[in-house]
Chain A
Amino acid sequence: MNLPDSRKNEEALAKLLEESHKIRGVSLWKDAWRRLRRNRPAMASLIFLIGLGLVAFLTPMLPLQSPLDKDLNNRRFLSPSFEPITMGSREGLKFADGKLTSQLALFEAEIAAETAEALAINDPLKQAEQFESIQDRIRVEHPFNQLWNQLGSVSFKMVQIRVAIFGDYAIPSIFGTDKLGRDLLARVFWGARVSLVVGLVATLVSLMIGVSYGAIAGYFGGWIDAAMMRIVDMLYSIPFIFVVIYLVTFLGEESVKAWLESYGIDQIMIFYIIIGAIYWLTMSRVVRGQVLSLRQEQFVESARTIGASPMRIVFRHLVPNVLGIVIVYLTLTIPAVMLFEAFLSFLGLGVAPPDVSWGLLLNDGVEALSSVKLFWWVVIFPGAALAMTLFALNFLGDGLRDALDPKMKNR
């Protein structure tokens, strides 16, 4: 047998395998989808979650009030109300006419004037300098700086669109305001961005580690499996909260922070990546169990006979087949991570203001829960937001489990 031939054969076989695999996969997923669609609570949850994700992403574009502008003098602890509000009307902001749009127009006019002046300069060096200074001014003095914290370029554009569409209109404080006079509705929405991203990032990290670890252990079996699973058992007995507390202080260290920033890495991100690195234990167990039962299946055997490398078998053939259970488990890990974020906020180890997360909001809210006076709205709304999200994730998880359960097939 000459080599090219064998390669050709191999390729053909692999292609065939893949195709058959695909066909099998599609039918499985289709079937599951059909069953999931019949499950009303799960579908409602799915729609809710998709909506939530969309809304969270589009938050800068929504006609919300500023999440961090504190109207201490007039708006502390206002109960929910429908009183209309104008963006930028707080006196301390000193916006022209007390309006964001007016101030923005004024600012843009000034910049335009300066730009015109700069254009008139003949010396190209001086002109460049002038442009530089105008850019600097935009960066520092833009009215958006007063109402939003460090908008990224995408968010900045979104806010611009928001101002273009809605002008100075903002939804009234229907969720009330907090102890420093910030609008809770806006904070709940902006908090959703942080909380959801935290949940997703950490879960994805846990997914990657857990799936690879579990799949490798399950595929190789024998002493490798035994050793790897013993290590997991061992890790189960470690109180990780302790490690987390240390990491928080370590990452807060000035030099570490500067170092991370020089690489453009967000401190919070790193932190939640690490949390994800802690949450992979159960995932790896689950995946390992599935892979153990799969590895004797024919398609694995055939892949092995054609000489596919173990890594290829694990990641190309086995992992896709355990995806179902992994997705189910995913919907259970996200809530756990989000609750953990809240827990850290309670201990004062969460995100730093002016960033806001649901955990932070709830911590503030609990502070205002007292028998002496009840500022119920400060805890109810963020609490409801978190509870509803976790509720939905749980129902979706249940629904997915039922839908993906092979025993339920064709029912």
Chain B
Amino acid sequence: MKDLLGFLIRRLGWMAITLWAVYTVSFVLMRAAPGSPFSAERAMPPAIEQQMRARYNLDAPPLQQYWDYMWGILSRGDLSWSIKLEDYSVNQVIAEGFPVSASLAIFALVFAIILGVSAGVISAVYRGTVADVAMMATAVLGIAIPNFVLASIAILLFVFLIPLFPAAGWGTLRQVALPAICLGLPVAAYIARLTRAGMLESLSREHVRTAFAKGLPKRTVIIKHVLPGALLPVVSYLGPATAGVLTGSLVLEKIFALPGMGSHFIYAATQRDTTLATGMVLTYTVLLFVMNTIVDLAYAVIDPRVELE
């Protein structure tokens, strides 16, 4: 228990450093990139532009801005007002977008794990059969097609050809299903391949052979002896998988018109919405870091050989 606590505290420290680094990099990048958040079709008089800058503290010396904004985040958790979405503060934008992105990501990941692991196990157990080859070919295909193509084809198939799902939008379970599946499929494909490889390796281990030799039922052996070892690479893949799901959601939110954070993320960066962009990057960093930490933790729990460092 003690090492667990120590591990978490150390991780928290690293997260703080990471966030600080990300904050600094995004701060520098945003000030170095050309273009102003106040560009409008009609040029603004200088005094007014200065005033707008002042409203977002963009007129202060860069170092001052750097500290002020950081202090605002640290002391009040206040990411300031969004520059472009005038009616909203960055915190509100995140509060509205996060649940959408999170629930999409959860569905996608759970779907990917269930599908990926079962496909991987089946094709490992029936190695060399038609089912195995077909499943692995599909899995490669899932990795080889960009998700915007996949989503567009899925819409044609499951919205128009077989009307199972609505075309787009957010608000019901049926509306989440198709984007979550499209988001999860490439991840599922990858997981399936990892599971299969892990299973094959485990199956050739001594203790598994012994278990089979003892005449234990196949099902028991696989679940008790083969799967835990085989799932290790899958667990360690979950960190990158989260990153993949988050990046993928940028595309799917666009295609399915979902009000998640992904569209804000791109929009903020391209439109020079300094405050919103910082808020988004920090949120994504926290998400990734937390997920990576959970994965490391899970890894240590499942694999007794690994110690928490």
Do B250 and A371 have beta carbons less than 8 Å apart? Answer: no
Minimum Cβ distance to chain B for residue A228 (Å): 14
Chain B residues closer than 8 Å to A339, beta-carbon distance: 146
Contacts of B239 in A (CB 8 A): 236
Q: Quick check: is A359 within 8 A (CB to CB) of the other chain?
A: yes
Q: Which residue of B lies closest to A281 (CB)?
A: B240
Contact check, A371 vs B292: say whether CB atoms are below 8 A apart: no
Stretch of B52-60, B122-130, B169-177, B264-272 lying at the A interface: B264-272
For the complex, give the distance between the alpha carbons of A242 and B149 in Å. Answer: 22
Report the separation of the CA atoms of residues A249 and B29 in the bound assembly, to the nearest whole angstrom: 11
In the complex, what distance in Å separates the CA atom of A65 from the CA atom of B69? 56
Determine whether A315 belongs to the interface, using a CB cutoff of 8 Å to chain B: no
A394 within 8 A of B: yes
Partner of B144, one of A359, A365, A387: A387
Residues of chain B with a CB closer than 8 A to A387's CB: 141, 144-145
Task: Indicate if A125 sits at the interface (CB-CB under 8 A).
Answer: no
A386 to B26, CA, bound (A): 33
Please measure, in the bound complex, the distance between the C-alpha atom of A335 and the C-alpha atom of B140, giving whole angstroms: 11
Q: Which residue of A lies closest to B145 (CB)?
A: A387
B288 close to A369 (CB less than 8 A): no
Any B CB within 8 A of the CB of A54: no
With both beta carbons as reference points, the residue of chain A lying nearest to B262 in the complex is identified as A241
* Contact assessment for A242 and B33 in the assembled complex, using a CB-CB cutoff below 8 Å: no
The residues of A that contact B32 with a CB separation of less than 8 Å are 250
- A234 touches which of B14, B30, B146, B250 (Cβ 8 Å): B14
Whether A230 lies near B14 (C-beta < 8 A) is yes
Please count how many residues in chain B sit with their CB below 8 Å of the partner chain's CB atoms.
46
Interface set, chain A 335-360, CB cutoff 8 A to B: 335, 339, 342-343, 346-347, 359
Scan A348-392; emit 1 where CB is below 8 A from any B CB, else 0. 000000000001001101100101001000010001001111110
A237 touches B146 (CB 8 A): no
A-B contact count (CB 8 A): 114
Interface SS majority for chain B: helix
Cβ-neighbour of B33 out of A249, A365, A366 (below 8 A): A249
- Of B146, B156, B281, the residue contacting A386 (CB under 8 A) is B146
Given contacts A233-B14, A237-B285, contact A369 B152 (CB under 8 A): yes
Chain A residues with CB under 8 A of B243: 236, 239
Give 3 nearest A-B pairs by CB, closest first. Answer: A390-B144, A239-B284, A342-B146
19 more CB-based (< 8 A) A-B contacts, given A234-B21, A282-B240: A233-B292, A236-B288, A237-B289, A239-B265, A239-B284, A241-B265, A242-B269, A242-B277, A242-B280, A242-B284, A249-B33, A249-B270, A250-B32, A343-B148, A369-B153, A383-B145, A388-B144, A390-B143, A391-B140
Interface set of B (CB-CB < 8 Å, partner A): 14-15, 17-18, 21-22, 25-26, 29-30, 32-35, 140-141, 143-146, 148-149, 152-153, 156, 159-160, 239-240, 243, 246-247, 250-251, 265-266, 269-270, 277, 280-281, 284-285, 288-289, 292
Give 15 A-B contacts (CB < 8 Å), ordered by A residue. Answer: A236-B240, A236-B292, A237-B292, A238-B21, A238-B281, A242-B265, A245-B269, A245-B270, A249-B270, A250-B34, A339-B146, A366-B148, A366-B149, A374-B156, A386-B145
